[in-house]
Amino acid sequence: MSTPALDGTRAEGQGETVRVVIVDDHAIFRSGLKADLDPRVIVVGEAGTVEQAIEVIARTRPEVVLLDVHLPGGLGGGGREVIAGSAALLGATKFLALSVSDAAEDVVAVIRAGARGYVTKTISGTEITDAVFRVAGGDAVFSPRLAGFVLDAFGTAPADIADDELDKLSARELEVMRLIARGYSYKEVAKELFISIKTVETHVSAVLRKLQLSSRHELTKWAAERRLL
């Protein structure tokens, strides 16, 4: 799946390096991903199970963890459990969810646990590298599909103007999400809405925060219903 939102538009981060840990239970995928990543991305550790992952992350303290949603071990919680187990590091270490699954409940669950973004495993090495730098810089990474999930979960009607509650997206946030779902990159979104890329990133981060913190009934209900699909 292409993720045009990640087209290397970040100015900062060039020339710097990022230390990452790859957590995935398939060794073939880990080595393939390592080979695909940019040399600026330094892989400091790998793990294949929940327990290993928590241990490796605590030991190496990477800036970014590339985390598979489905993992063996632990209590069966997969990537969510790894994030929960590394809660103490959550400020310094950012999690980017990687998944072969398109299932909404998997993705939303791991985002709500604290991941800063989600990309599918089929995206290219360049795109993943961009996503890693973006997440390391504190921004959120939304693929079109994740934006679609968000729109589905929060509904497509905007909140009232002075309404900053967590249960609804503002009109501007909705616009940004819609454009991302349509396949626009952050740069294209900025151009389309006549705002700066920084503002787009702020909106996306706000949406991520709402997705993580909203306790609204519909969100859980929606996730539960998705399980039936």
Partner 1 sequence: MTTVPVRPPLVRSSDRMIAGVCSGLSAHLGWPVRMVRLGMAVAALAGGAGFVFYAWLWIMVPTADEAARRNARRPASPIAPAVSGPAVDSRPGSSPPVGGPTIPSATADAQLQPATFPSAMYDAGPSFQPTAAGAAPFTAGAAPGTASASAAGTGAWFRVRSMRYGKEILLGSGLLLVAGILIARLLGADVPLGTLIPAAAILGGAAIAWMQLDETRRAGLVDKTKADQAGGWARLAAGLALVVAGVLVMVSGSGSWEQTWLALLASVAVLGGVALVLLPWGLKFWRDLETERAGRVRETERAEIAAHLHDSVLQTLALIQRRAGNEHDVVRLARAQERELRGWLFKDPAKESGQLSDRIKAAAAEVEDGLGNAVDVVSVGDTVMTDRHEALVQASREAMLNASRHGGGPVSVYLEVSDGGVEVFVKDRGTGFELHTVPEDRLGVRESIIGRMKRHGGTADINSSPDGTEVRLRLPAAAAENGEGKP
Residue 159 CA to residue 173 CA, distance in Å, equals 10
Cβ 147 to partner 1, closest distance in Å?
7
Cβ 225 to partner 1, closest distance in Å?
10
Beta bridge partners of 46: 22
The number of C-alpha atoms within 13 Å of 136 and in the hemisphere containing its C-beta is 25
The number of C-alpha atoms within 13 Å of 10 and in the hemisphere containing its C-beta is 22
Cβ 132 vs Cβ 20: under 8 Å: yes
Q: Which is nearer to partner 1, 59 or 122 (CB)?
A: 122
Cβ 156 to partner 1, closest distance in Å?
5
Cβ 143 to partner 1, closest distance in Å?
9
Residue 61 CA to residue 111 CA, distance in Å, equals 20
Residue 70 CA to residue 79 CA, distance in Å, equals 6
Cβ 18 to partner 1, closest distance in Å?
26
Q: Which is nearer to partner 1, 172 or 182 (CB)?
A: 182
Three-class SS of 4-72: CCCCCCCCCCCCCCEEEEEECCCHHHHHHHHHHCCCCEEEEEEECCHHHHHHHHHHHCCCEEEEECCCC
Q: Which is nearer to partner 1, 125 or 137 (CB)?
A: 125
Binding site residues, partner 1, CB under 8 A? 1-2, 4, 102-103, 144-145, 147-148, 151-152, 156-157, 178, 181-184, 188, 228-229
Q: Which is nearer to partner 1, 147 or 211 (CB)?
A: 147
Cβ 222 to partner 1, closest distance in Å?
11
Q: Which is nearer to partner 1, 67 or 147 (CB)?
A: 147
Query: Which residue is associated with the tokens 């959120």?
Result: 140
Q: Which is nearer to partner 1, 95 or 149 (CB)?
A: 149
